[in-house]
Amino acid sequence: MDDPLPTQTDNGRPSLLRKQIPAASEKISSIVPAENSRDKAELAGKAPLDQRMASLATALRKARIENAEHSAALADLRAAEIVRLELLADALSPVLAQIPRDCDIFDVAVSPGERPRLFIDQIGFVEMDRDRRTYRFLQDTRHGRITLRESADIDEMVDAATDYIAHRLIEREKALAVDYASGGAARVVRRTGATGKAEEPGLLSGKAFQAFLFFIEFLGSATFFGLLAIIVIWAYRTYVTP
């Protein structure tokens, strides 16, 4: 039986072609969405990784910038502390010039470090408070560290350091007086000869002890050689002489 001929439509096109075209378009549409879904899945798998890498790089760059700013801020604060301590040291220069030359217990200098300090001596020093503007005068004692003065005024800190130096000088004088009263210095003065040179304590007693040791050694040697001569004479008379 022969296939039916396509009938003519109003616009003159066969109706059979209209039926075949939608079928082909359905096949193409069924293939294209599958490929699009696969591409979207691959992009969805790659996108989070790229985003994480980008966000991590951004975070590292931000952390480096913050670290550099923090380090620069700390360096600026430390430099400001050193400048303030140097100003205090300059203000103390007239006071330090009046210290006796034979006194070496004061060594005023700024020690730059993690915590800059202006040392007056080995146990007393000045440092800046947390506000970076207030001076704190501290001293190390046997009972711990104590605060002697705390002020933002340089003149007040100069007065506090001057009082501290004066008390330390008095303590030094007392220590020298105690050493003199103990007898050590008195013996040195008493044994100073006409030449002005002091004899060392115990020098004469040392010489006498050395002389006594020499006498004991000489006596022992004489006794030994005397006994040896007696033994030799006895042996000669007994065994050699008929």
DSSP code of residue 193: -
pLDDT in tens, 182-191: 665 555 555 5
Cα separation, 121 vs 148, whole angstroms: 14
Cα separation, 117 vs 107, whole angstroms: 13
- Residue 97 is encoded by which pair of tokens? 């010039």
pLDDT in tens, 148-184: 999 999 999 999 999 999 999 999 888 888 776 666 5
Phi and psi, residue 137, nearest 5°: -95, 115
Nearest to 88 by CA among 134, 37, 53: 134
Nearest to 112 by CA among 149, 75, 140: 75
Task: Give me Rg for the CA atoms of the chain.
Answer: 52
Cα separation, 3 vs 122, whole angstroms: 120
- Residue 96 is encoded by which pair of tokens? 């330090």
Cα separation, 42 vs 40, whole angstroms: 5
Verdict on whether the full-model pTM lies above 0.85: no
Please say if the pLDDT value at position 198 is more than 60: no
Cα separation, 120 vs 140, whole angstroms: 12
pLDDT in tens, 31-89: 444 555 555 555 555 556 556 556 777 787 788 777 777 777 777 788 888 889 999 99
Distances (CA, A) of 132 to 150, 157, 180: 12, 15, 46
Residue 197, amino acid: K
Please say if the pLDDT value at position 223 is more than 80: yes
DSSP code of residue 238: I
pLDDT value, residue 61: 74
pLDDT in tens, 97-122: 898 888 888 888 898 878 899 999 98
Cβ neighbours of 204 (radius 10 Å): 11
pLDDT value, residue 31: 47
Q: Which pLDDT band holds residue 192 (cuts at 50, 70, 90)?
A: low
Domain ranges of the chain: 39-202
Task: With residue 146 as reference, give the H or E element that holds it.
Answer: strand 144-151
Residues 6+ apart with CB under 8 A from 85: 110, 116, 117, 118, 126, 127, 128
- Residue 114 is encoded by which pair of tokens? 């993690």
pLDDT value, residue 237: 81
166-180 exposure pattern, b = at least 16 Cβ within 10 A, e = fewer: eebeeeeeeeeeeee
- Residue 159 is encoded by which pair of tokens? 């007065």
